[in-house]
Chain A
Amino acid sequence: MAEQLVWPVLFAYGEAAVAYAGNVRNPGTLGRLATWGVRIGWLAQTALLVVQASRAEAFPWGTWAGSLNLFVWLVVGAYLIWGCSPRFRLLGLTVMPLAAVLLAVSYASGGTRTDEGTSWSDVLLLVHVTFVLAAFAGFTVAGGLAALELWQERALKRHRTGLLRLRLPSLVALDRLTVVTIAVSLAALTAGLIPGFLRVREHGLDVLMGATVAVWALYASILYLRLQSGRRALSASLALSGLGVVIVLQLGLLATHVA
């Protein structure tokens, strides 16, 4: 019965994605509907995760599909930090459709069930999964912010006259937020990788681990490029590409990692 909570979550996230699209053309009520969709959906998903945690005899998000479920919750949670502000509503257009699709994939693969998991006693695994997923969620939101920044940069360069009417966050604010989000996420990824490596002796190396280290290097270079070399547009482009890499890792390689 508790598993049915996934339906209101999917409905709310889907509604938010559609309302955000409508808000671009007709700002106002649709934007508010979208924001409420995100809030209600996230609360319902929180309830789902709580039920999963309380019922499972083991860590419920150690599986590929389960981790996808937790990942979506973290992404939407990170988005909610600024997403409720009207100026960031356009960011919802990049984040919420992705969240809805990933949650649907997680559901279809059994990630929202309440009877699966790996051992609770494996603390290293808990820390590893939580921090790595939190980092990936942060990178996802940073990718959305970077997309918005690049789009705005293009609009400013091309002198798009309607830009002011969209009431977006300023270019500098988006840049600052992208950098801060990447920095925090990189710290989380570092914290998540350490217990991962401690488990190497037991489980061995795989493709995902190599790819995750590459992701770490990618985001570290983005921070270097932005903070030391001042390459704002390039670092934003890389953050956007990083979003693609994170999604591929989350959807594809993770299956090989936990299999």
Chain B
Amino acid sequence: MNLLLVGTSHRLAPVEVRERVALDAEGAAALSARLANGREAVCLSTCNRTEIYLAADDGYAADREATEALASLGGVAPFELEPYLYRLEQEAAAVHLFRVAAGLDSLVPGEGEILGQVRTAYEHGSVGPMLDRLFRDALHTGKKVRTDTAIAESPGTTSSAAAALAAQVFGDLDGSQIAIVGAGKIGALAARRLIKRGAKLSFVANRTTSRGQLLADELGGEAIPLERVAEVAETADILVSSTGSPDVVLTKSDVAGALPARKGRPLLLIDLAVPRDLDPTINELPDCYLYDIDDLEAVVEETLHGREAEFAKAEAIAVAEADRFRDWLATREVVPVIASIRERAEAIRRGELAKASGRLAGLSERERDAVESLTSQIVNKLLHEPIVRLKEAAVEERHGPENRLEG
């Protein structure tokens, strides 16, 4: 049985192509079921990729059907879709899926959503022994990469650094209140990132209330004049400021006045403005953590620096797990041989027992069972060593230099 992958992703196809072949969970399940027809099939479809994994004896036919299915989704002829498709077989397909599950092939490397999408695809797919093992191993790889490396904790921009810091302070951002000071693009971008992680916008404080209202209408929350900014320090968990004001808009005493009402709840203040909007000495107040643009850039720089090492670790995990899958695949190939050896041995055992039936006629039922059990055990013990050796030989053959996996 061959393992085959036919798919397209953000690496090859522009969004106009990707959106035409994208499927929701039900659509992916239906396509998997349609392609399964005597094979195993799983369709993984996200906004960045649509991939069909197949385990089939007839690799060529399976490839053709998968290509036609994708082309028909896109409403184009197969040859038109061809430039955007990639095909991988056997171990290469496995390594690819393990990298995908680890977030190494994502548009935003290390993002966590893909693992859930791989799980959904697996649950909705038409799996048999090979794809079941492949996807379970892929999910294990994804989890292991996220546990053993900091790949998911590597913000690449100042706004994602702000969101990562907020998560470090508050954990799950569900229900955390954000206040934006200044209705500019930079503050809105940071707010969107926080909202995406579950936070809720409560206030938009802006010099021109009508402009603040536009942002409040888009992201939720209430628009208030800039003069009332000190009030939001009482209720907000995260305050993002990015006005064009030449002066400080929030002083240490403003925040200090709000602290008793906060009862020890931390306040994360993100100052994205230059010149700075927030008095730097606010950071000296208890439970207040102030980060300006330089601090955020330092976080980004540090994580980008460490990212390469984390990526190397994650790649190594994906390759090691793919290696294990390859070993399993190798032992699977000798399964028919093992089955036929067992069958032959069993036939000999039964034959010899039949020959001896005359001499065993005087045995009671219990004694007969004991003889059955004894002969079975002897056969199993004799076969154990050669079967283990056969499996090892299959793995070793795969581990030959020409078969070694490359990351």
Contacts and interface: CB of A to CB of B under 8 A. Distances in A.
Interface of A: 27-29, 31, 86, 152, 156-157, 159, 161-173, 175, 226, 229-233
A162 B155 CA distance: 12
19 contacts: A28-B148, A28-B149, A29-B148, A156-B168, A159-B295, A165-B150, A165-B153, A165-B154, A165-B310, A166-B150, A167-B150, A170-B171, A171-B169, A172-B170, A172-B266, A173-B171, A226-B264, A232-B264, A232-B287
Given A159-B298, A172-B171, 15 more contacts: A157-B289, A159-B295, A159-B299, A161-B299, A164-B154, A165-B153, A167-B153, A168-B168, A170-B167, A170-B170, A171-B169, A173-B171, A229-B264, A230-B265, A233-B287
Contacts of A157: 283, 289
Contacts of B287: 232-233
B147 A164 contact: no
A104 B338 CA distance: 53
A154 to B, nearest CB: 11
Interface of B: 147-150, 153-155, 164-165, 167-172, 260, 262-266, 283, 286-287, 289, 291, 295, 298-299, 301-303, 306, 310, 313
Contacts of B170: 170-172
Contact of B299 (A28, A164, A166, A172): A164
A162 B169 CA distance: 14
Contact of B171 (A86, A169, A226): A169
A213 B229 CA distance: 47
Contacts of B155: 164
Contacts of A162: 302, 306
Contact of A27 (B148, B171, B260): B148
Contacts of B306: 162, 165
B286 A27 contact: no
Contacts of A171: 168-170, 266
A170 B191 CA distance: 20
Contact of B264 (A29, A152, A156, A230): A230
Contacts of A29: 148
B148 A164 contact: no
Nearest to B145: A28
